Structure 1
Amino acid sequence: MELRQIQYFIEVAKREHMTEAADALHVAQSAVSRQIVNLEAELGVDLFIREGRSIRLTPIGHVFLKRMEQAMDVIGQARREVEESLDPEKGTVRVGFPSSLAAHLLPTIISAFRKKFPDVKYQLQQDSYRQLIESVIRGDIDMALLGPIPSEERRVKSEILFVENMVALVPTNHPLTSKDTITLDDLRGDAFVLSPQGYILRDVVMNACKQHGFEPEVSFEGKDIDAIKGLVSAGLGITLLPEITLVDSLPRATAKLRINEPRVTRTVGVIIPRDRELMPTEIVFYEFLKNFFGTLNEYQ
């Protein structure tokens, strides 16, 4: 069994069309057909059912595809590891991030890292909180920036980079805008704009309010930070957001209020897989993260 045969097989299996697979591989269709026939002959089974010009996988073909994709992932990772071992400063970092860290934190980190390691490449994945955790576990990415850090997921290793405050965002005509700071109890009677159920930021806000003796009335929901800001800007309610999401500017017709009783916070950090090693370049990036925020925390 040759590596080329596996590559051809995977491409044909994905497209279920010999000609399209050949075009994608930039080879003649006859070459692809010949390699598939040779592979089936070597294995002693039919991997495909031929139906005119289209083909589809047999049941054993599906099993073989899954295993071969896993094998190609291992080969690809081995190749990356060899290349990056020769020069970790020219490899690739595969990192995920949620929307709440996209506008300020991620650009700040990458900008600082690129000054030291300008030749490193990046594969960035923005996704939901729980999907990022699963992506790290599956190996789609090797680390993810998250807030808050998961405390009960044993399949990943977590490193807290810093703790940040949650602040209230209210319309500018809200009675509380005359105050420098507020208490969480001041918001007890307000309508809240929050993420939908199942989103981690909603859980952070709901848990903080419940611990303070009330459950917020949710008037509207927004699936991302910008949507929530927009709804508050329209005067449809108030919300609590991580302070980092408001660093650069406030939405029009809104005010940011600090909460001093009790402080509502979330941890922000990075997760990596517990059962596999990071690639050499990613180790450099991971250590940079810890040192970068360690220095900032000491300064603060």
Structure 2
Amino acid sequence: MDLEHLHLFLEVAQYGSFKQVADRHFISQRAVSKQIRQLESELGVTLFQRKANAITLNTQGQFFWAEAQDIVNHYNNAVHELHGLDRLTSQTLQIGYFSIFESHLLKNDVHALSQNYPDVHVTVREESNEHLIKSIHRGSLDIAYSIAYGKTTLPETTGLTVLPVFTGEMVLGLSRDNPLAQQTKINVADLQETPILYYTPESSTFLLESFLASLPQGQQADHVLRVTSIEHMQLLVALNQAVAFYPAGLLENGPADTPDIVYRPFALDSQHYQIVMVYDPQNKNPALHDLLHLKQTN
């Protein structure tokens, strides 16, 4: 299987457009469509629902999306490790994280791990919550940092362990030019006509479902939209074209720390969140137990 076909498949799934992917690679839209059809022919199934103005994954495509992510990630990790064999040590710890906000906690933990256990080699990658859970089950990740907000991070039947490591409240980020910035708290009714953004790098509805689960029963948020870049989200919010929700307590000195955006709490009691570490208790990797020991003793 041509790895380039997988890369294009993942990009089309992410952007929902042959044209957007073609423009990114400076090739024709027809060339992208042809490669996707070659992949579908090789697999013997159709992966997308093609409509006049949109292209979306069908049931087979949604299943293959996770598998393709694993194939590409495994390949990239293998190449990375091949080029770094001269510096590899006896232990390797594979860590995943859900978004840039959890990455700050991850960075501090990896620094502490390196200081206490200098022989441990750490690999890190960013994935959607759903993909993180699958990767831990398959053994391609030892541990993942994710968020529990409005709903549990994983089903109770997974057999994985969830360790809370940080607690805070979700807040709304909006432009200083937005009239809502003058309020001390934001009501859901204030946002009925306003695009609400959330960030996730992969096609995922986890944060959308989490936000909707945090609302009072019967209320809906019809304008909640996903963006694939934190920089794009920040730009739209700063320009007063949208608002977005953020984990308070993890904003300082990060990508969301900008003078053009202010943060206000929701007038709801259900905006509590936790950053959690998810791992398989049956995982015997000594480096994993070293990291957990540090977290539980500090």
TM-score by length of 1: 0.59
Q: Which residue of 2 aligns with 1:168?
A: 172
Distance 2:188 2:108 in 1: 30
Distance in 1, matches of 2:129 and 2:211, equals: 15
8 Å Cα contact 1:190/1:216 also seen in 2: no
What is the distance in 1 between the residues matched to 2:292 and 2:205? 26
Aligned to 2:297: 291
Amino acid at match of 2:212: M
Deviation per CA, 1:105-136, whole angstroms, max 9, x where unpaired? 22122223333333321121221111111010
Structure 2 SS opposite 1:266: strand
Q: 1:193 aligns with which of 167, 191, 197?
A: 197
Q: In structure 1, what is the Cα distance between the partners aligned to 2:268 and 2:155?
A: 24
Distance 1:119 1:244, change over 3 A: farther
> Which amino acid letter does the alignment assign opposite residue 106 of structure 2?
L
Residue number in structure 2 paired with 1:93: 93
Who wins on radius of gyration, i.e. which is larger? 1
Q: Is the CA contact (8 Å cut-off) linking 1:99 and 1:225 kept in structure 2?
A: no
Segments of structure 2 that go 5 or more residues without pairing to the other structure are 4-88
One-letter amino acid of the counterpart of residue 261, structure 1: L
Relative to structure 1, the CA distance from residue 227 to residue 200 in structure 2 (aligned partners, 3 Å threshold; closer, same or farther) is farther
Paired residues of 1:161 and 1:290 also in contact (CA < 8 A): no
Q: Does 1:157 align with 2:164?
A: no
- Equivalent position amino acid for 1:270 in 2: M
1:283/1:162 Cα in 2 relative to 1: closer, same or farther (>3 Å)? same
Mapped to 2, the partners of 1:186 and 1:262 lie a distance apart of 16
Determine the C-alpha separation between the residues in 2 that align with 1:267 and 1:102: 10
Residue deviations 1:246-295, cap 9 Å, x none?
22152452111123532402222111125x33311211111212333xxx
Tell me which residue corresponds to 2:277: 270
Structure 1 residues 239 and 185, CA, compared in 2 at 3 Å: closer, same or farther?
Answer: same
Is the 1:230–1:251 contact (alpha carbons within 8 Å) kept by the matching residues of 2? no
The sequence identity of aligned pairs, in percent, is 17
TM-score by length of structure 2 reads 0.59
Q: How does 1:34-53 map to 2 (within 5 A)?
A: none
User: Structure 1, residues 155-202: CA drift from partner, whole Å, max 9, x if none?
Assistant: 322222232211110111112222344444544553312358733222
**Number of the residue aligned with 1:234:** 239
Which amino acid in 2 is paired with 1:146?
S
The answer for the alignment partner of 1:54 in structure 2 is none
RMSD: 3.0
Q: Is the 8 A contact 1:100 1:245 kept in 2?
A: no
Change (3 A) 1:265 1:153: farther
CA contact (8 A) 2:95 2:141 kept: yes
In structure 2, the CA distance between the partners of 1:164 and 1:219, relative to structure 1 (3 Å rule), is closer
Matched positions, count = 205
Report if aligned partners of 2:192, 2:223 keep a CA contact under 8 Å in 1: no
The answer on 1:177 being equivalent to 2:177 is no
**Contact 1:188-1:214 at 8 Å conserved across structures:** no
Alpha-carbon distance in structure 1 between the residues aligned to 2:124 and 2:204:
23
Does the 8 Å CA contact 1:195/1:202 hold for their aligned counterparts?
no
Evaluate the alpha carbon distance shift between residue 290 and residue 150 of structure 1 in structure 2; reply closer, same or farther with a 3 A threshold.
farther
Name the aligned partner's letter for residue 251 of structure 2.
L
Say which structure is richer in helix.
Answer: 1
2:261: which partner in 1?
A: 254
2-structure distance, mates of 1:151, 1:284: 26
Q: Which amino acid aligns with 1:284?
A: D
Q: Could you say what secondary structure the match of 1:241 adopts?
A: strand
Q: Give 2:274's aligned amino acid.
A: T
